[in-house]
Every structure is written in C-alpha cells, then in structure tokens.
Amino acid sequence: MRLATRTGLASFVAASITLLAVGALFRGYFATVLQERVDTQLEERAKTAPILAAVAERLAQSELRTTLEGARVVRDGETISLGLLPADPLPSRIVLGFSTARASGDRWRMYTVEVSDVPNPGDQALVQLVAPLGDVDARAMQLRRRVIFVMGLTSLAAGLVGYLLGKVATRPLNALRRDTARIEDAEPSTWRVGTAYGSNEVDDVAATLNENLQRLADETQRRGAALDAARAFASSATHELRTPLQSALINLDIARSDRIAEPDRIEVLGLANEQLQRMAASLSAVRALADAEFADQSWFDEIDLADVADAAVADERRRAPDATIEIDSPPPTTLIAWRDGVRLAIANLVRNALVHGVPVDGSAQRVVVSVAGATVTVDDNGPGVAPADRQRMLERFERGGGSGSGLGLAIAQQVAIAHGGSVVIGSSPLGGARVVMTLAQSSSSSP
C-alpha cells in the first residue's frame, strides 16, 4: 500500500472515531435538554392539579375534554382520563413523581402529584399529568441522522486531505525512488541519486546510498578494467604464440615436401627452429610476467642486490659472449626482495640493452649496470629512446622493432611494482638509453 493511501486511511479512521464520539455526546445532551423542557412544563402544569382534581368529573363530560392536555385523576379507586392520551392504555399502576412509559408506539412522560382536601376536605386524590415524548424523540432521531451524515462527509474529507498531505510528505521519497530506479540500466559512472530532496531523513538515506553506490561503481569499474586488461593480455599472448607457430608449421610443411632442393630444406628447417625458439621465449616471458603480477609475500626474503645483479650479469655474459657488459661493483646492499624476480628483471634489462642499444655509428657496444641502494641502473651507448616513446616502451608486447618478446621491460616493471617501486626510461650519459629500476623504498644498508 502506498504511503499516501496509508495516511489517507489513517486520517479517515481518526476523524470517524472522533466525530462519532462528539456526535454521540452532543445527541445525548440535546435529548436531555429537550426532555428537561417537557419536565418543566409538566411541573408547571402540576400547579393546576388541585383544580383538575376538583373538576375532573365535570371536565370528563364537557366538550373541552378532547382539547385539554393529557391527564389522569385517581380518586376513590376510580381513574378519570382527560385530554390527549395514547390510544393504548398507560400503565395502571401510578407512581408519584416522574416516570416514562411506552404506549401506541411512542414514549410518554408522566408526572404524578398527590392532592388533598379537593373538592371536599379530607379527600385524597392522585393527579397524573401526561405529555407525549414523540416530538422530542423524532427531533433526536433527526439530529442523529444529520450527525451521521455530516460525520461521514467530514471523515471522507479528512481522508482526502490526509491522502493529499501524505502525497506531499512522501514526494521526496518518491523522487528518491524514481532516481534509484533509473540507476538500474545506467553506466556505473553515473550511479548517483540526488542530494537534496527537501527532507532531512530522505537526504540522509540518499547520502548513504550515494556512498555505497560510489563504492560499488568503483569496484565494478576496477573489475571491468582488470577483466579488459586480462582479456587484452590473453589475446596478445595468444597472438605472440600463434604467429611463430604458424610460420614454423608452414616451414616444416615445406621441409617435408619432395619438391625442394636440399639447401633450401636446411634453410627452412633453420627458420622453423628459430620460430619455435621465439615461441619458447615468449612462453617463459608470459609465465614470468604472470608470476610477477601475482608475486606472493612468502617469496620475499633478505637479498644482497649487488650479488644478485652480479649473478644476472654473469648469466648474460655467458648467453652473449661477444657483448661487453660492465658492472659497477658496489658494496653489498641488502634488502627484502623476491630474489628470482629481481634477477629476472635485471637479466631482462641487460638483454633489452643488448638488443636495442647497438650504436648506430658502428662503434663498440657498451652496457653498464650499476647498483645503488635499492636501485639498478642499466646504461647503453645505442640510439636511445625518444622521450615520447619512453612510457609506451614499458607496455606489454611493445617491441622496439627488435626480435624480442616485447615483454622484457614489462616484466622488469611488474617486478618493480611487486616491490612497490617503478621502472623509468631516460637518457644515458653514455649517449643511449638509461633504464632505472627502483625496488622498495623500505631498503636498508648493510652494516
């Protein structure tokens, strides 16, 4: 049931009860007043009781008999009826004072007095004066009908007013309800109801609602963004794996054919091998990236960053024996970190420098790794990265035109993020690119 209907009904019931009580009281009072007037008249008439008693017999025989007001006179056990009396008999037992009786469908009021010495000394008689209450009762009944009619109308009016007031009072609530309904199929960013509905209670509810909606919208958007990122990543990763697989498959098909010359077959097999290795590298890179993204706190322990960097550089020297990789041998630097992740990140930074840091003028390539505090810096003397491209280079599958997986810098960045740090690309004093990986700020120098 709507709130306005409730207030309407409540007003109707309240008005009905009040008016019923007032009406009943008023009608009772009115009936009493009317009857008291009759009684007063009867008492007035009682003053003539001795005369009536004296002339009762004669009056009963005169023509005046029917025009008189009703009375009964009892004398010597004989009752003389005079004037206007009911057709049906009144009670035969006569009581002194006031009494009421029902006869011929109406009520009758009676007042009885005792008179003595009339008409002869020593006589005793009872004189009863009778007045009809029919008029009084009819007027009371009429009044009652009027009261009920007016009461009904008034109650209905009260109900209507209550309904309208209720509508006005619930207008803020209804406005809020409409705003809330609108949210259902709206964009999360627009999930908001108003702030001023013209009622403090409703405004409080709206404020609470807005807070919760904001939280919900934020959460929905965060999840949506995470899902989009995951989808984009899955799609890119699939593409990265499918493309080398596709060319390897075709090259193997060609190699199987009996229509190609032996040197061609060897070349094609070499290509297929290269492409499968590219796939394998992409697979481990994707795996490393996923690991870095979900890095667990239990993987973290105390490491010597200089030592880890040294080991990573030694690995890369083995992989690329012709390259010159220098390391700025620093004092031991201990911090709480994810050892394998940091080592992989440094390895990727070095590999990145080896691939992209080839000097354009043909001079010897130099890659320098330096460790300071919780920061690892890798410099090269290659062509460098234009400032506009620096941020983009950190994104996944952004390969700077080389043959890498396009994930190296993304892995380093993800590892840095796992430590609460970051990766920044800049210009190196050597002339090429400088990549600075900062790990946690919570580093501590060794004693």
Partner 1 sequence: MSAADGGRILVVEDDDAVRTAVDRGLGVHGFDVSSVPDAESAMAVVARRRPDVMIVDIGLPGMSGIELCTRLRGLDVDTPILILSARDQVGDRVAGLQAGADDYVVKPFSLDELAARVHALLRRARPHAGATTALSAGPLWIDLDRRVATIGEIRLELSRREFDLVAVFAANPGIVLSRIRLLELVWGYDFDVDTNVVDVFVGYVRRKLEAAGVPRLIETVRGVGFVLRVE
Q: Which residue, 194, 186, 180, is CA-closest to 217?
A: 186
H-only helix segments in 262-369? 262-293, 305-319, 339-356
* 141 vs 229 by CB, closer to partner 1: 229
Q: How far is the CB of 272 from partner 1 (least distance, A)?
A: 9
Q: How far is the CB of 222 from partner 1 (least distance, A)?
A: 25
* 156 vs 254 by CB, closer to partner 1: 254
Q: Count CB neighbours of 129 within 10 A.
A: 24
Binding residues among 275-334 for partner 1 as defined by CB under 8 A: 275
Task: Tell me the site size for partner 1, rule CB under 8 A.
Answer: 20
The encoded tokens of residue 83 equal: 């004037």
Binding residues among 75-114 for partner 1 as defined by CB under 8 A: none
Q: How far is the CB of 236 from partner 1 (least distance, A)?
A: 11
Do 88 and 75 contact (CB within 8 A), yes or no?
A: no
Q: How far is the CB of 284 from partner 1 (least distance, A)?
A: 19
* 109 vs 278 by CB, closer to partner 1: 278
34-42 own/partner pairs: CB under 8 Å, 24+ apart: 34/136, 34/139, 34/140, 35/109, 35/133, 35/136, 38/109, 38/131, 38/133, 38/136, 39/98, 39/109, 39/111, 41/131, 42/98, 42/109, 42/110, 42/111, 42/129, 42/131
* 278 vs 419 by CB, closer to partner 1: 278
Residues with Cβ within 8 Å of 415's Cβ and at least 6 positions away in sequence, in order, are: 292, 295, 338, 341, 342, 344, 345, 437
Cis peptide preceding 172, ω within 30 of 0:
no
* 94 vs 245 by CB, closer to partner 1: 245
Q: Alpha-carbon distance 254 to 265, whole Å? A: 8
Q: How far is the CB of 279 from partner 1 (least distance, A)?
A: 11
* 121 vs 401 by CB, closer to partner 1: 401
Q: Which residue, 75, 78, 80, is CA-closest to 120?
A: 75
Work out whether strand 325-328 and strand 367-372 pair parallel, antiparallel, or are unpaired.
Answer: parallel
* 151 vs 252 by CB, closer to partner 1: 252
Q: How far is the CB of 402 from partner 1 (least distance, A)?
A: 13
Q: Which residue, 161, 164, 168, 217, is CA-closest to 197?
A: 168
Q: How far is the CB of 273 from partner 1 (least distance, A)?
A: 12
H-only helix segments in 184-261? 200-256
Q: How far is the CB of 256 from partner 1 (least distance, A)?
A: 9
Binding residues among 221-280 for partner 1 as defined by CB under 8 A: 235, 238-239, 242-247, 249-251, 253-254, 257, 259-260, 268, 271, 275
* 223 vs 239 by CB, closer to partner 1: 239
Angle (CA) 216-218-222 rounded to 5° is 115
* 28 vs 402 by CB, closer to partner 1: 402
Residue 210 sits in the site that holds partner 1 (CB under 8 A): no
Q: How far is the CB of 240 from partner 1 (least distance, A)?
A: 11
Q: Count CB neighbours of 108 within 10 A.
A: 21
User: Given the rule CB under 8 A, which residues bind partner 1?
Assistant: 235, 238-239, 242-247, 249-251, 253-254, 257, 259-260, 268, 271, 275
